[in-house]
């Protein structure tokens, strides 16, 4: 028994080291300043936003942000993991977003600490067993007006969100901007792990994670039809 306890202390101490070294992660998602594009100079899509748009791997990600806690002291920063293995489509008709379906491969989530990523495969999200998260719009989004180039549009999206094998209907805040060539979409929303049958990781009492976190996404869509 003493040997086992000693092993846990050593392992926990190792986990504690990277918990304290988890500072300097990426900032929360947001729409940055608009960047010049061919569309902005008048050579953009003549059909406007109407049509089918597909997620581009470059610039897109889905991820998590959670607060780690070491013993009785909070970790100095959030733990953040992201995956760019995202696919999906969005269908737009005038000022109506008719359909959205997005899928993320959580088995490719990476953070600033490989040991955290490895534990995520069998603890918490258990990505070895539940590698996929999806969102599918269930109610069309009707905007007040057709988007203008460079304009940030704020709205909400209601749909079926599947995580850890559990599907729930949720409504999430969304910000989007069309530059003529792409539509950039960002969202950040809270998730209570117990709602998705996720057991918040707790490693031998040394490092624990709260029973809640934040899903973050940034998606870049390009017209495909």
List 187's β-bridge partners, or say none: 217
pLDDT at 33: 58
Say what the pTM is: 0.81
Chain segment 99-108, per-residue pLDDT in tens: 999 999 999 9
Average pLDDT of the residues of the chain = 82
Chain segment 20-31, per-residue pLDDT in tens: 444 457 888 888
pLDDT at 193: 92
CATH number of the 2-24+48-223 domain: 2.40.128.110
pLDDT at 43: 40
Q: Contacts by 138-145 with C-beta closer than 8 Å and gap 24+?
A: 138/169, 140/96, 140/97, 140/98, 140/99, 141/96, 141/97, 142/95, 142/96, 143/95, 143/96, 143/97, 144/95, 145/95
Chain segment 179-221, per-residue pLDDT in tens: 999 999 999 999 999 999 998 776 555 555 678 899 999 999 9
Cβ atoms of 217 and 25 within 8 Å: the answer is no
Give the distance, in angstroms, between the CA of residue 98 and the centroid of all CA atoms in the same chain.
Answer: 22
pLDDT at 31: 86
Q: Which residues contact 108 (CB under 8 A, 6 or more apart)?
A: 83, 84, 85
**DSSP class of 180:** S
Domain ranges of the chain: 2-24+48-223
pLDDT at 168: 98
Q: Please state which of the ranges 47-51, 116-120, 177-181, 209-213 shows the lowest mean pLDDT.
A: 209-213
pLDDT at 204: 52
pLDDT at 16: 41
Cβ atoms of 31 and 152 within 8 Å: the answer is yes
């Amino acid at each position: 028994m003493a040997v086992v306890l000693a092993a846990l202390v050593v392992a926990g101490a190792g986990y504690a080291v990277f918990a304290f070294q988890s500072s300097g992660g990426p900032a929360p998602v947001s729409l940055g300043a608009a960047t010049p594009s061919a569309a902005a100079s008048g050579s953009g899509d003549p059909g406007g936003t109407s049509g089918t748009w597909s997620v581009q791997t470059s610039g897109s990600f889905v991820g998590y942000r959670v607060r780690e806690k070491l013993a009785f002291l909070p970790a100095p920063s959030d733990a953040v993991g992201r995956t760019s293995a995202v696919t999906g489509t969005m269908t737009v008709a005038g000022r109506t977003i008719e359909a959205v379906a997005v899928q993320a491969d959580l088995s490719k989530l990476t953070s600033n600490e490989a040991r955290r990523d490895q534990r995520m495969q069998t603890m918490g999200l258990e990505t070895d067993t539940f590698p996929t998260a999806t969102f599918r719009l269930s109610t069309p989004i009707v905007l007040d007006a057709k988007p203008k180039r460079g304009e940030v549009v704020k709205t909400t999206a209601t749909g079926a969100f599947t995580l850890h094998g559990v599907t729930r209907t949720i409504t999430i805040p969304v910000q989007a901007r069309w530059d003529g060539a792409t539509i950039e979409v960002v969202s950040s929303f809270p998730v209570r792990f117990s709602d998705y049958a996720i057991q918040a990781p707790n490693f031998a009492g040394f490092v624990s994670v709260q029973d809640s976190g934040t899903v973050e996404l940034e998606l870049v869509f390009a017209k495909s039809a």
